Amino acid sequence: MNVANPSAPARRTRSGAFVLSNLAVGHAITHWYNQSLLVILPFIRDSMSLTNIEFAALATIRQISSGVANVPAGFAIDMAKRQWGLILTACMVVAAISFTLVAFSPNYGVLALVMIIVALPGTVWHMPAIAAISQRFPNRRGFGLSIHGAGGNVGNFIGPLIAGVLLGFMVWQKVALLYAIPAVVVAVVVWWSLRDIGTSGVAPNESKPLGDRVRQALRLLRQRTILSLLLVTMLRNMGFTSLLVWVPVYLKDPVAGGGLGMSGFMVGLHTAFLTGLGVASSPVLGYLSDRFGRKVVVVPGLIVTALLTSIMGLVGAGLLLTAVILVVGLFTYALAQIIQATILDHIDRGAEGASMGLILGSNSAITAVSPIIAALIVNAYGLSSVFYYNAALIGASAVVLFFTTLRPLAAASSTHSHSAG
């Protein structure tokens, strides 16, 4: 650090690797909480005697909240670059508060309201984190986002696993309350390590007024490639969101009800396999997408995911089901990071937050209905039928992406030519 220059950022010497690793740790915590809730919710459903529609509505509320928060958060992130560290810290604090509220929810109505808050930390975290990574690693964006995603996948794995273990000897209220503690600790770490993340320099268009930012983001929606990628994301997210909601139910419900009757630990273990194996595959797939192209990696991954999802309800309990879930887990969140990188390839520097907020926000608002649609399918055709619905949506996303013309990676990196890393 250059102490002779008082205007120099206090943490200028911190490397891109340091920032990326700490962003990955924070990302792990947000996903730990989100995925743990997937395991806890079926126990809440039984405790409160919820119907399938009421249960699915909790996931829908989370999605709507995420979608609504994405848009203003995206614009705010671009305009408040120097407050990124504070925003990331606040995400951890809100995570602690939200799980405390879950623990003390006395009925379904209160719990439904709490779901609005539960969605916020993970949603808002992505905005400054994605923008910072995109700006610091313009030529390695897929790899950088995949490392960030690998952190999330660590949380995806340990969250359901720990929740499953705890639910073996604790009621769900105590598990949720216990979860408030780690987020408080990590909030301190995030503030120490990332509070100056947005002070490493200002891109030429980061001082644009709000009106210009809105028009710039809306112009994206007139681009054919962006619209195609938005459709890819929507179809994939509709299938994936429904899959995450209903797999734990399928694993937990008794055989007489169409499920597999697994214990809390086994539900947590298989959910961890489904959501967390990207910790190994994300960096590899991210590197390959930077090296050989996004489409070459994402399309086959989506096809494999769709095919295996379609047989998930047919193989029964046992090693074959575990193997199917393991392979699907390699692609779930890993592909999401590369799809994000693909969208960012078509967005100018300094507009990442607003553009991604608009795209992800509108996407979440549409995909929020997917768990409800899935609940109607379950009510009509049985629990295992939901996997055909999920597979069809994921497969359709692969078809749309296959026919989408993407910008060459060399041209995409030139739009982010000023690296802060």
Element (H, E) at 321: helix 319-344
Task: Give CA–CA dist 129/213, Å, rounded.
Answer: 19
Mean pLDDT (the chain) is 82
pLDDT at 54 over 80: yes
Please report the pLDDT score of residue 324 as a whole number.
95
**The pLDDT of residue 4 is above 50:** no
Instruction: Check residue 345 and report its DSSP letter.
Output: T
The pLDDT confidence band at residue 153, using thresholds 50, 70 and 90, is confident
Q: What is the DSSP string of 140-202?
A: SHHHHHHHHHHHHHHHHHHHHHHHHHHHTTS-HHHHHHHTHHHHHHHHHHHHHHHTTTT-S--
Distance CA 95, CA 24 (A): 16
- Phi then psi dihedrals of residue 311, to 5 deg: -105, 5
pLDDT in the model for residue 6:
43
Name the more confident of 353 and 302. Answer: 302
Tokens for 57, please give them.
Answer: 């509505």
The pLDDT tens digits of the residues spanning 346-364 come to: 776 655 566 666 676 767 7
User: What is the Cα–Cα distance from 242 to 400, expressed in whole angstroms?
Assistant: 20
Conformational region of residue 15, where left means phi above 0, alpha means psi within -120 to 50, and beta covers everything else: beta
Domain ranges of the chain: 17-197+210-409
Q: What distance in Å separates the CA atoms of residue 343 and residue 126, rounded to the nearest whole number?
A: 14
Q: Given a cut of 70, is residue 384 above it in pLDDT? A: yes
Residue 217 has pLDDT above 70, yes or no: no
**Quick one: what percent of the chain has pLDDT higher than 90?**
37
CB of 117 closer than 8 Å to CB of 158: no
Residues 6+ apart with CB under 8 A from 197: 19, 23, 84, 85, 88, 128, 132
Decide: residue 255, CB within 10 A, 0-12 exposed, 13-18 middle, 19+ buried.
exposed
Q: Per-residue pLDDT averaged across 15-28, rounded?
A: 81
Q: 16-25, 58-67, 129-138, 302-311: which range is least confident on average?
A: 129-138
Nearest to 373 by CA among 210, 193, 262, 243: 243
What is the structure's pLDDT at 35? Answer: 86
Q: Is the per-residue pLDDT at 49 higher than 80?
A: yes
CA distance 182 to 198: 25
Q: How far is CA 69 from the centre of its chain?
A: 14
Q: What's the Rg (C-alpha) of the chain?
A: 21
Q: Is the pLDDT higher at 75 or at 395?
A: 395
Rounded to whole angstroms, the maximal C-alpha distance in the chain is 73
Tokens of 194: 């990332």
DSSP letters for 114-138? HHHHHTHHHHHHHHHHHHHHHHH-T
| CB 176, CB 102: distance < 8 Å | yes
- d(Cα 189, Cα 336) in Å, to the nearest integer? 27
Cα angle: 25, vertex 192, 189; to 5 degrees: 40
Of 70, 49, 38, which Cα lies nearest the Cα of 243?
38
Q: Which structure tokens are listed for 134?
A: 């995109």
Q: What is the mean pLDDT of residues 19-48?
A: 88
**Do 132 and 7 form a contact (C-beta atoms < 8 A)?**
no
| Burial (CB count <10 Å: 0-12, 13-18, 19+), residue 301 | buried
Q: Does the 17-197+210-409 domain belong in CATH 1.20.120.450?
A: no
Q: What is the mean pLDDT of residues 139-149?
A: 75
